[in-house]
Chain A
Amino acid sequence: MPALAEEYVETDVGKVQIFRGGDGPPLVYLHSAAGEAVNPAAETLADSFSVVSPVFPGFGESEGLEQIDDMEDATFHHLDLFDRLGLDAVPIVGLSFGGWMAAELATRYPERVSKLVLVNPVGLYIDGQSVKEIFGRTPAELAEDMFADQSHPMAQMMHMLSEFSGDVGQQIEVPMELVLPIWKSMSATAKLGWDPYLHNPKLRRRLHRVTAPTLVIHGAQDTLAPKVISETYAAEIPEARLVDVDGGAHLVTLEKPDEIAQLVREFVA
């Protein structure tokens, strides 16, 4: 599996961390609220593409969140980043929150997106069905929604984190190296997704503007993002297609990387 190498790019909001590697035409992966810029699906895709996986400001080591207040700012950040990386019209794969950001870009600047793959996307609020609460819940509870198989290493880590509680009167040693990335990811997600909760009320009526051929992938065991969101993207984006991947919950690019990579290869090729 070709590794993705870490690089830093100066952008208008500050220094941004990206992971890049592989051979072939370019392909952008936009991570979810989990911050999985490096993940087995993106790494696998590096056998067919020059994969660029940027870390959104506020996540990981990327700066500039204080200059990003909403999806409009996020979209301009992506435009700026693509310009600096010399990416003109590029295929984008986005998971969940990353899928939402990809859809925002594809509605506003359709000429910058050549193919669009939305994996368990959020961003829409349909028929009174909200994305299940991601804020204020324990890592163990979230793991139940994010993974079909609780033995996945990341699910195991999340269950382990929920075990930490201090003795009364003791100053507890919290594993900051585990807590900090999660804490940063959730803070950055809240900046854009707290209110309205993980959606943009205007996005649905703009979806007809997407010109990129679009594939919507839904993890069959996803209990976090209602399937009606994926169905609506597929229905409103011209000629979009919806496929189910069995055995994957919300973080399906982590759980079913080979299946996702194969779907993307076939669709983007």
Chain B
Amino acid sequence: MRFFSFHLMPYPDLPADYDGPAWVTCPNEFYDPQVGHDVYNRYLDELIYAEEVGFDGVCVNEHHQNAYGNMPSPNLIASILARQTSRVRIAVVGNALPLYDPPTRVAEEFAMIDVISGGRLIAGMVVGGGPEYYSFSINPADARERFQEAHDLILKAWTEPGPFEFIGKHFRIRYVNPWPRPMQQPHPEIWIPGAGSLETVEFVARNHYAYMGIPYFHLSVFERMFRMFREACEAEGYEADPLQQGWLVPIYVAETDEQARREYEDHLWYFVKRLLPGITIQPPGYTSVRSLGNILKSSGSFMLNLETWEQVVDGQYAIVGSPETVTDMLIDNLGRLGTGNLLGLFQLGTLPHDLTKKNLALFAEQVMPKLRAEFPEGQPVIRPSAAGQVA
């Protein structure tokens, strides 16, 4: 099992009387640069701290024009981490390829991070969330095509000698010849986040990449998602490696179950009720007919619809409790999902710095070793007995 600390870099200070969406149209007059200065630096400290306490990697990601996650350029944050950490993998999960024109920009910046960090980059590539298509006015009906073409171009730029000419439908570059080239050869490990769209699952399986389940769903949705992924790998003629699968989930560890809920609950609700609204906006033409049914099926169990703490616990939307409780829940859930990468959100919503650090330290000291022992690398994570096979 590999352990990653994922940070969204949320804006913690939306006005109390604002109840609109946190995405696309959330007025940017609410953004106070002084608050931004404080939290950027604080959040970077939290990512660096994850290395100190023993995590295997850190994760950052890309979102635009929103209060949920203030990393319009995750590559900027990753490049700081490349210098300020020395051991952890740096997973950028990911760059929204259709938004980069030309996409060789991604090949260049990822290679820079990989070279500066000494080969520690994990290159995430993503179609991009619905809100980004409203924020960029990139045609969502072209999203999949642009993603595919950009991906092909980036991989070719990394693996074939330049200069060469690339003539696609959406991108045309006469001279592809990026400097620098990535340090990891033939190219950095590639992660693709997905929310259960069949096209994405099949694409990841076909290319032997790793599939990262987009979070905030009921555990049953992830069970279905990763089962689908393993089946797609089987259809490609191989057995999925646990390291090809990653589950992202909010985690909070405190001394006791009661203390954990007491310290955490308000911050979780800020996240659910203030930062999630607007994230589900669906741009037209972005989803295939094949995937529409799956996505509609999952939408009812999205975290945004939660009202009570009992629902959070029932659906395992966040793993909260004492070290023992969190360990037990994670052993059970990871056994159901079969994922060899655990991506924890250890800071969520308004969770303050001291509690975030305590959370990271307790998890690293008291949970991580037990999970490493339970799920040794190179061995299957899936536990057929746990994985609701009956249903």
Contact = CB atoms under 8 A, between A and B. Distances in A.
B299 A190 contact: no
Interface stretch (B81-89, B232-240, B279-287): B279-287
**B interface secondary structure, majority:** helix
Interface in B99-150: 130, 133-134, 137-142
A1 interface: no
Nearest to B145: A66
B284 A187 contact: yes
Given A190-B139, A191-B285, A169 B296 contact: no
A135 B299 contact: no
A183 B292 contact: yes
Contacts of A190: 139-141, 283-285
Interface stretch (B63-71, B193-201, B300-308, B320-328): B300-308
A224 B101 CA distance: 32
Among A135, A167, A168, A170, chain B packs the most CB atoms within 10 A around the CB of: A168
B296 A136 contact: no
Contact of A171 (B282, B289, B301, B305): B301
A197 interface: yes
A189 interface: yes
B305 A191 contact: no
Interface centre among A170, A174, A187 (most CB of B within 10 A): A187
A240 B301 CA distance: 54
Interface in A77-135: 135
Contacts of A169: 218, 220, 300-301, 311, 314-315
B306 A168 contact: yes
B297 A194 contact: no
B293 interface: yes
Interface in A12-56: none
Contacts of B284: 135, 183, 186-187, 189-190, 194
Interface in A175-227: 176, 179-180, 183-184, 186-191, 194-195, 197
Interface string A142-177: 000000000000000000000001111111101010
A170 B300 contact: yes
Interface string B137-174: 11111100000000000000000000000000000000
Nearest to A192: B141
A165 B134 CA distance: 23
Nearest to B137: A195
A172 B298 CA distance: 8
A168 B305 contact: yes
B137 A194 contact: yes
Contacts of B283: 135-136, 190, 194
A218 to B, nearest CB: 26
B281 A166 contact: no
B285 A186 contact: yes
Contacts of A168: 218, 300-301, 305-307, 311, 315
Nearest to A174: B296
Contacts of B293: 174, 176
Contacts of A136: 130, 134, 281-283
Contacts of A176: 292-293, 296
A184 B141 CA distance: 11
Contacts of B141: 187, 190-191, 194
A135 B293 CA distance: 20
Nearest to B303: A168
Contacts of A189: 284
Contacts of B130: 136
B320 to A, nearest CB: 17
A171 B300 contact: yes
B292 A191 contact: no
Q: Which of B138, B281, B305 has the most CB of A within 10 A?
A: B305
Nearest to A195: B137
Contacts of A197: 137
Given A174-B296, A191-B142, 13 more contacts: A165-B300, A168-B218, A169-B315, A170-B300, A172-B296, A174-B297, A176-B292, A187-B141, A190-B283, A191-B139, A191-B141, A194-B141, A194-B283
Interface of A: 135-136, 165-172, 174, 176, 179-180, 183-184, 186-191, 194-195, 197
Interface of B: 130, 133-134, 137-142, 218, 220, 281-285, 289, 292-293, 296-301, 305-307, 311, 314-315
19 contacts: A135-B283, A136-B130, A136-B283, A166-B299, A166-B300, A166-B301, A166-B305, A168-B301, A169-B300, A171-B301, A172-B300, A174-B296, A174-B297, A176-B292, A179-B292, A190-B139, A190-B284, A194-B284, A195-B137
